[in-house]
Every structure is written in C-alpha cells, then in structure tokens.
Amino acid sequence: MEIATLGGGCFWCLEAVYDEMDGVTSVESGYMGGHMPNPDYRAVCNGDTGHVEVVQLHFDPAVSSYRDILEVFFAIHDPTSMDRQGNDSGPQYRSAIFYTSEAQKKTAEAVKAKWDHSGKFTRPITTEITAAGKFYPAEDYHQKYLVKNPGGYTCHVLRDL
C-alpha cells in the first residue's frame, strides 16, 4: 500500500471522488502543510494556520498507480486558481501535492508539467509540490461528509465531472 496526500479545494469533494477509485482502500479528510499543531476546522478556516484541507489516500499501486491518482487529481480541480476552488477561497483551499518519497516527487513534477503543457488551461498551474509533514485528521463530522449529508452540499468537482 502507498499513501497520497492531496489538497484541491474542499476535502469533501476530493474524498467523494477518490472513494470511488479502483485501488483506493481508504480516504480520510484532514489538514497538512501548516505551522499550527493539532489544527481544527475553525482555525484552518481562519486562513492563518498555513494548513491545507487535504485528503489522505491509502491505495494499492498494483491497481492504481501514484501517476493514476495524480491524473485524476489534475482532472477534477482547477490547479491554476491560487487559493480558490469554486466558491471556496482562502489559503486552506490551495492546490497541493504532499509527497512521501523522491519517486513520488518526481512523478508529481512530471504529471504537473504534462498538465501545464497540455493546453487544457489558459493560466499556469500553481499546484505546490511539497514534502509531506504531519497529517492531522479532520473532525469526525467531516469524514464521509457527502455520504452522511446527501443533497446538503454541491461540490464543484462533482458538478464538473
């Protein structure tokens, strides 16, 4: 099993997509990339913790590779919007890939470059590629949020698929 940690706007939206992906065995919403220990949703929403709303995936690379995970990532959000996805704005919604190995870093850089030169976007990709730090799971009510609250929130990601 491998781990991928990604930020691409609201974690509920990414969670919903990756929950359906072959080879992904678990998806957990949380926070990463900031300076505040043990952040909570309220603090992260203030925008001054440095944390990103992320999903952390455990996946079987024999079924879906890290490259496959990243191809989906770039297809389901706008990696050219600095600190914004849909109606969500602030640094906690920035596009980010947190790698756990040099191999993941190289793959992330290659996939980002491919998408940046694909012609799909009119602006350059702003996705940051950073070494993974401590993952802080989000509060229980954020886990599987869209499953627990059907019809209560419309994700930009799910509208655009």
Catalytic residues: 10
DSSP code, position 139: P
Cα dist. 7→62, 115, 119, 151, 161 in Å? 23, 17, 22, 23, 18
10, two tokens: 């609201």
In the chain, the amino acid numbered 113 is: A
Instruction: Identify which of 91, 108, 106, 100 has the alpha carbon closest to the alpha carbon of residue 53.
Output: 91
- Edge-to-edge strand order for the sheet containing 136-137? 128-131, 95-99, 2-8, 52-59, 24-32, 136-137
